Amino acid sequence: MGPLKGFKIIELAGIGPGPFCGMLLADMGAEVIVVERASASYTTPDVTRRNKKSIALNLKSKDGLETLLNLVEGADAIFEGYRPGVAERLGVGPEDCKKRNPKIVYGRMTGWGQDGPLSQAAGHDINYISLTGSLYATGRKNDKPVPPLNLVGDYGGGAMFLAVGILAGLLEAQNTGKGQVVDAAMTDGSALLMATFNSFHAMGIWNTQRGNNMLDGGAHFYDTYETQDGKYVSIGSIEPQFYSLLIEKANLDPAVFSDQHNMGKWDEFKEKLETIFKTKTQSEWCDIMEGSDVCFAPVLNFLEAPSHPHNVARQTYIDVEGMTQPAPAPRFSRTPSEVKHGSKQAGVDTEAVLSDWGFPDDKIQKLKKDGAFS
């Protein structure tokens, strides 16, 4: 099942966006083989390891490295998340793989990119999105920037762009018979995610003052509000017809609130709405607004989300081996994605994968005896 069924992809084990990218590809049916260190001993549940097979190779041994390069000969793509130059030093860089398989698509996941003055520096999501304006724009007025978890750099600007790049490379390779390198940098990706705000600024409807714009919590009609029971609701009543419905359902005075886009009144309107939303519980506001065109939703934590009726109806969350987790996305009408199993212990599939990929049994046993894997 899945639209990527038949594609073979090698993931050199890493953390964060690399494994997330591998999960996306595996959910869509690709055979994703995670190459772990020979000494790896992984047991903790990890959603991003679902649907993958795990092999453990000693890449510092000649036989272990040769085993990986033999696998590259039968793969469609390979990707890694090392600092620039590490894969080359290990002997599994783009040129090493291209010699074995000219059609291979080689994905590279980094924060700063393969070149540039910061390319060799350590960093994390918070640093990468600092460089692109994403972090500066996130947070409340007159307060410091707030990290939006690690969603913008690692997963939005990193994993998603790596997945798109690999898929585009696979399509192009089918037409030309030639592979290429995909340089996915979180700085590049998070910069591209800000494209709309470059447009807004050019149109004169966005400024650099955090918490002072329509979509960053500056507007009273696009924000979150605390309810009587200490929970929160979200309001996104941008369009005039939706804003009119907000006025109606929140029992606001149209004469006071009609001047929706007068930025000079936003703080005043917000204070009034804060008082109003605290008069009822989250559940009571759901009864009044949920499902209407107010553009409303309760603000749920990630443990509450799976129980919401909409998520239940769409089966947005699934249970895999006793662990609740998000279902694969997006959805395909004819070749649906599926989760066959959760995370596996490191190296558990080594012998089976080598056999499936054409290694004779006597060679597998010799490689094991010689220390290519344990």
Residues with active-site annotation = 124, 154
3-state SS track over the chain: CCCCCCCEEEEECCCCHHHHHHHHHHHCCCEEEEEEECCCCCCCCCHHHCCCEEEEECCCCHHHHHHHHHHHHCCCEEEECCCCCHHHHHCCCHHHHHHHCCCCEEEEEECCCCCCCCCCCCCCHHHHHHCCCCCCCCCCCCCCCCCCCCHHHHHHHHHHHHHHHHHHHHHHHHHHCCCCEEEEEHHHHHHHHCHHHHHHHHCCCCCCCCCCCCCCCCCCCEEEEECCCCCEEEEECCCHHHHHHHHHHCCCCHHHHCCCCCHHHHHHHHHHHHHHHCCCCHHHHHHHHCCCCCCEEEECCCCCHHHCHHHHHHCCEEEECCEEEECCCCCCCCCCCCCCCCCCCCCCCHHHHHHHCCCCHHHHHHHHHCCCCC
